[in-house]
Chain A
């Protein structure tokens, strides 16, 4: 469970990115974060992985404050959270297999386990046959699948997706959403920031609308429409 209590984030340059935000997300929920650019979506997701601290307020994940967390504990927090980005962020000098194995190796997984888990997760996202390719040999949709595989190979309880379909055509976007939905069905909490109205309207999940750092709407089975003029 994720809880924000009166979270305010003001950057050094004076930008008020989040303004007194309180919200609670249950385990296994699927939440869309929508809103215009600069509404605070990215700040919201960044704070969840302790990339920076809020100016005010408290953030709890599974009952534990991540604000009071020591810097040594941050890697442990991040192992519980998978993160995918609009620009995939794959290592260009490593193969698909190595990119995914990397996430396991970084947390000290034994070699035998890496060898078992990586092919499994690559099959799950539908690119089991591309394991020896380098990222620049893949299409955008395929690269995002690699990124998803990397994000979930550690079995995180939360998956954060920041505009995961932003660089993809509608067909590939749909495929990616199928995979993310599949991951959600296995019990992983999904928080996805997006501008893709079609996807939001089609999926009928909880929608949190942010504007100017505030939550302006929170619908259980919402649509994309901000309701902003």
Chain B
């Protein structure tokens, strides 16, 4: 394209936005709302995922060893446990500490050890964490196979519920994001189509005077790109500051619920929205114009 053509194109795109202010504003607003809802959904999903993984990390398996396993063998077991699939971390609890814990629970007034005749009936044990809740059951089964292990315990039912909840959050989150994406795309292209429809006469005249399709398309392309960009920036600003405020509020009022206070992630989401909005605006315009180019 010659320089003069490019110059006209640029000027036409800006003039068109200026002369169709209300239409351009409606488009920017629609895009901003769509992307805001999409971005919020994304953050909501990220947070519920985070909540679930927080809960997952608290699932523990208690492994009790046989009483006759001596300390050396008990400690040696650690290496084998660490090799198991799904293993995350462990804590060794010697029988003395287990007894001390129990003593604490009964209170210092009682002489627990004395009552037991000087014998500690408690075994050495491990507290083991799995990488995620869905790996707990498999890990527990592996642990049971060690000859040194007498018994294991973990909240099986609770773990199962957590696993199905995690899966649900993932699926629902994905479905909501996908739905919002489609709804947003549809809304945006419809708005742009309306803007283009209002100017189909202009496109027709351009065809009559012998403008090439690209010459006709390009101002719409630029205009759509600019409108998409502005809408996305508006949505990005609201999300960035809105989420920042929401994090602060949550940390103050409900500190026990973990929120994702990761500004890097927030930046990436806002960046993605701006990129997405710009691309959708440009593509939507070109697609909408195509219909009127067939003269």
Residues on A lying within 8 angstroms of B by beta carbon are 49, 51, 72, 75-79, 83, 89, 91, 93, 102-103, 105-111, 150, 154
A83 touches B208 (CB 8 A): yes
Give the shortest distance, in Å, between A207 (CB) and chain B (any CB).
Answer: 26
Give the shortest distance, in Å, between B292 (CB) and chain A (any CB).
Answer: 13
Cβ of B141 within 8 Å of any chain A Cβ, yes or no, is no
Q: Which residue of B lies closest to A110 (CB)?
A: B4
Cβ of B19 within 8 Å of any chain A Cβ, yes or no, is yes
Q: What residues of chain A lie closer than 8 Å to B211, measured between beta carbons?
A: 75, 106-107
Residue in A72, A78, A93 whose beta carbon sits within 8 Å of that of B208 in the complex? A78
Cβ of B7 within 8 Å of any chain A Cβ, yes or no, is yes
Give the shortest distance, in Å, between A16 (CB) and chain B (any CB).
Answer: 23
Q: A93-B19, A111-B7 given as contacts; is B208 within 8 A of A102 (CB)?
A: no
5 residue pairs A–B, Cβ–Cβ below 8 Å? A49-B208, A51-B295, A75-B212, A105-B4, A107-B210
A89 touches B205 (CB 8 A): yes
Q: What residues of chain A lie closer than 8 Å to B207, measured between beta carbons?
A: 75, 78
Cβ of B206 within 8 Å of any chain A Cβ, yes or no, is yes
B8 touches A105 (CB 8 A): yes
B4 touches A111 (CB 8 A): yes
Residue in A51, A79, A89, A110 whose beta carbon sits within 8 Å of that of B210 in the complex? A79
- Count of B interface residues, CB-CB < 8 Å: 22
Q: Which residue of A lies closest to B212 (CB)?
A: A75
Q: A93-B19, A108-B5, A111-B7 given as contacts; is B210 within 8 A of A78 (CB)?
A: yes
* Most chain B CB neighbours (cut-off 10 Å) among A83, A108, A109, A154: A108
Give the shortest distance, in Å, between B195 (CB) and chain A (any CB).
Answer: 13
Instruction: State in angstroms the CA–CA spacing of A139 and B4 once bound together.
Output: 33
The 5 closest A-B pairs by CB, nearest first: A106-B211, A79-B210, A78-B210, A103-B209, A105-B8
B4 touches A91 (CB 8 A): no
* Most chain A CB neighbours (cut-off 10 Å) among B4, B210, B295: B210
